[in-house]
């Protein structure tokens, strides 16, 4: 078990009396992601209300944080991470429907939202059934698929913006967030609280049919198991999977990690395997594509607790 110096008594003293907050020190992190490998974090703080989140952010603002939703887009190094993982629950899991306007808490599961909205006769978010993430992550990275994306339906989001003066809660429209392909201007230390969407009326059976088609397509074309979905962002007018497969890397194994034999843009971990093996294989694939094809792929997943230079290069920054 790794002990982190920053999980110190001063942090305990600051947080002990805040309502609707649960703090775990030297807590599981990597095992809470869909990769199910990787190390621990110095502390994991779960906030159940907006007031609790605001109080916590005011106190921990100088410290490094990472917001963890379903962990479906994250890889944590085997050595863990000397920082604070923030988890949202309670109020942040609520769905509010008022006509064709919907407010989703940042911790709402995308597949759950897709199905509940379809049952309520609201269309537009059916695509989200195939993304095992949360609303907060979807807003931050402008998640999408099957011909649609978050920004197509987003009205505005409430975001705690971080600056040298601490955190400030702001409402931001889709255009304010500069949402592009799998990107926005929401920073790594910013925290999405909720998001409002304007949807369209539809017949529940029609939406449910679309959802069923998406679920079946993903089952037939994408692997299950320990992965974080697509590893690399598709380059303009091409697909990362096609590039990787063209180099004969589909099904390639490196120690305990493997390029999926079903979809080359998925890199799998194995039970009891190593997150560092997954990272090294991601690096190997990215370097090979750049060397052989002259195309620099950038990662879609978040890489936490790895060599910062290599992680930044993989992210394209």
Residues designated as active site? 182, 230, 300
- Decide: 184 and 140 in contact? Cβ < 8 Å: yes
Both tokens of 274, joined, read 């190593």
User: Can you tell me the distance from the alpha carbon of 200 to that of 299, in angstroms, rounded to the nearest whole number?
Assistant: 33
- For residue 291, how many C-alpha atoms fall within 13 Å in the half-sphere facing its CB? 7
DSSP code at position 108: -
Distance of CA 287 to the CA centre of its chain: 24
Q: DSSP letter string over 246-278?
A: HTT-TT-EETTEEE-SS-TT-EEB-TT--HHHH
Both tokens of 113, joined, read 């939202």
User: Can you tell me the distance from the alpha carbon of 108 to that of 87, in angstroms, rounded to the nearest whole number?
Assistant: 12
Both tokens of 156, joined, read 């505005």
Site of tokens 């309520």: 120
Closest by CA position to 151, among listed 127, 117, 167: 127
């Amino acid at each position: 078990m790794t002990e982190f110096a920053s999980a110190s008594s001063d942090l305990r003293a600051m947080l002990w009396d805040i309502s609707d907050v649960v703090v775990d020190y030297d807590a599981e992190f990597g095992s809470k992601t869909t990769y199910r490998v990787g190390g621990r974090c110095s502390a994991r703080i779960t906030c159940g209300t907006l007031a609790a989140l605001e109080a916590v952010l005011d106190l921990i603002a100088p410290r490094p944080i990472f917001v963890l939703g379903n962990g479906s887009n994250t890889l944590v190094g085997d050595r863990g991470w000397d920082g604070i993982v923030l988890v949202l629950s309670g109020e942040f899991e609520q769905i509010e429907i008022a006509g064709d306007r919907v407010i989703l808490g940042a911790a709402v599961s995308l597949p759950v939202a897709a199905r509940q909205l379809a049952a309520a006769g609201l269309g537009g978010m059916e695509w989200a059934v195939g993304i095992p993430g949360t609303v907060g992550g979807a807003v931050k990275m402008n998640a999408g698929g099957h011909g649609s994306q978050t920004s197509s339906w987003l009205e505005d989001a409430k975001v705690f913006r971080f600056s040298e003066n601490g955190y400030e809660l702001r409402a931001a429209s889709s255009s304010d967030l500069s949402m592009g392909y799998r990107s926005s201007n929401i920073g790594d230390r910013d925290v999405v609280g909720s998001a409002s969407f304007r949807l369209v009326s539809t017949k529940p059976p029609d939406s449910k049919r679309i959802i069923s088609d998406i679920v079946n397509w993903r089952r037939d074309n994408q692997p299950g198991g320990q992965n974080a979905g697509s590893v690399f962002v598709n380059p303009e007018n091409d697909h990362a999977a096609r590039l990787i497969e063209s180099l004969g890397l589909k099904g390639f194994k490196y120690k305990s990690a493997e390029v999926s034999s079903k979809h080359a843009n998925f890199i799998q971990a194995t039970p009891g395997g190593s997150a560092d093996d997954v990272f090294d294989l991601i690096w190997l694939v990215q370097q090979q594509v750049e060397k052989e094809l002259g195309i620099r792929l950038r990662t879609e997943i978040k890489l936490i607790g790895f060599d910062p230079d290599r992680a930044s290069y993989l992210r394209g920054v």
